[in-house]
Structure 1
Amino acid sequence: MVSSVGFSAPLDSLRLQKNDSVKVVKMPYKIIPRQATLKSLMIPGWGQLYNRQYWKLPLVAGAFVTLGMIANYNQVRYTKYRGYYYVVSLHADDPTYVPPATVAVPYEDGVTRDLDVNQLKRINDGFRRNRDYTYIGMVLAWALNVVDANVSAHLKTFDVSDDLSLRVKPIMEMDPLSQGMVSGLSLSFNFKK
């Protein structure tokens, strides 16, 4: 945009020239729902920042940090027990190999417990399942973040002026099919700008 004095102005401001003085007038902040949606798709919480709903950012960040910590917890334990399980089941194809009845597994509390192969497999599968459910939860949280940014942007651009009106009036007319009188209600919406 080029003004009358020959310099370009940013799109978010309007420069007016009056008696050799330049006045900068800020344009109102306009929220575009598509931009809010795309920004939330790229980075969780960016759409909420774009919508100027700053109080939602700690909620979005907290959800992703919590889910990330849960996924990490389950991944660490899954790899630990998978290692013990593979040591026991590594020679399953060898007919001369006799697996040990139990395997000594050190726990986080410092106690070593003897677990058999079935217990190791059940623990291993449980941590893997919990980790996978947490990843699904992350995808759902991301989708919820995008939907929230889109809906909030649409609600912020919704017209809630006093110029909206609804008029209800009863009607009575002749029905051509039944050749009788039909009663009903007529609803009229008026939108004024």
Structure 2
Amino acid sequence: MSFRYKITICICVFTSFCSFAQKDTVQTQASKTNEKIIIVEEYKPLAPAKAAFYSAVLPGLGQIYNKKYWKAPVVWAAMSTSIYLYIDNNKEFDRYRTAFKLREAGLKDEFTNDDGSVLISRNGLINAQKTLRQNRDLSLLTTAVFYVLQIIEASVNAHLLQFNTNDNLTFQPMIQQHPMNFDAPKFGLSFKYSF
């Protein structure tokens, strides 16, 4: 093993002991009950899994579990819009597909007038079917993507709610003069950790 490799391992080991950023507890609440103080920990280690499960069962339920109520209508609107577009494109695809099959069989379809003139040509029916099939498939893919994204969002949000975000974790810029050197201002960057 080279000397650099050994030094790198030592630095990584020593810095890992003192590199804390956050605690795993959310809050502690104290409540008096018959002259006794009870401390309640609100840390929920299975909250992300539970939120993901609820979102998988019913889209938007994981967001409600996380108490982010405004996100549930957004999820429902996105999912219902993509489902509506899938149903509408599928219905129109079936309509043009049926007309194409009837025309190929030599029968009258809905785009043929009583006098035998056609409103949409054969190539128009073929192009309409291709476009509507692509739109239908894209709507189905969009629905699946929205479904997976809302599960991931509920799980990540539940995970991030577990962390302590107090004022000790903020970035506060400040200007400080050097106590010995007063001639020219010098600029620098320093980090201060307080626990």
Normalised by the size of structure 1, how large is the TM-score?
0.59
Q: CA RMSD in A?
A: 3.5
Offset at residue 89 of structure 1 (A) = 2.8
Pair 68,42 (structure 1): closer, same or farther in 2 beyond 3 Å: same
1:137 paired to 2:152 = no
The one of 72, 76, 97 equivalent to 1:61 is: 76
Q: For residue 178 of structure 1, what is the aligned residue in structure 2?
A: none
Paired amino acid for 1:141: F
SS of 2:119's equivalent in the other structure is strand
TM-score relative to the length of structure 2: 0.59
Moved over 3 A (4+): 16-19, 25-31, 161-166, 187-190
Q: Separation in 2 of the partners of 1:51 and 1:30? A: 13
Q: CA deviation at 1:49?
A: 0.7
Instruction: Count matched residues.
Output: 141
Query: Gaps spanning 5+ residues in structure 2: where?
Result: 1-31, 172-190
Deviation at 1:34, TM superposition (A): 1.3
1:41 & 1:77 partners in 2: Cα distance?
Answer: 30
Task: Return the match for 1:147 from 146, 152, 161.
Answer: 152
Contact 1:70 1:134 in 2 (8 A): yes
Alignment of 1:162-181 (within 5 A): 162=167
Q: Which has the higher contact order (CA 8 A, sep 6+)?
A: 2
Checking the alignment, whether the CA contact within 8 Å between 1:104 and 1:113 is kept in structure 2 is no
Q: Partner of 1:105 in structure 2?
A: 111
The 8 Å contact of residues 165 and 189 in structure 1, kept in 2 or not, is answered as no
Quick one: distance in 1 between partners of 2:193 and 2:141?
Answer: 44
Which one-letter code corresponds to 1:125 in the other structure?
K
Counterparts of 2:70 and 2:39, CA distance in 1: 25
Q: Which has the higher strand share?
A: 1
Q: Does structure 2 conserve the Cα–Cα contact (< 8 Å) formed by 1:103 and 1:115?
A: no
State the partner residue of 2:166.
161
- 2:52–2:151 contact (8 Å) kept in structure 1: yes
Query: Hey, what's the Cα distance between the residues in 2 that align with 1:122 and 1:63?
Result: 28
Aligned equivalents of 1:70, 1:47: Cα separation in 2:
24
Q: Within 2, Cα distance between the matches of 1:69 and 1:130?
A: 12
Q: Which has the higher helix share?
A: 2
Q: Cα–Cα, structure 1 residues 89 and 26, in superposed 2: closer, same or farther, change >3 Å? A: farther
Contact 1:103 1:116 in 2 (8 A): no
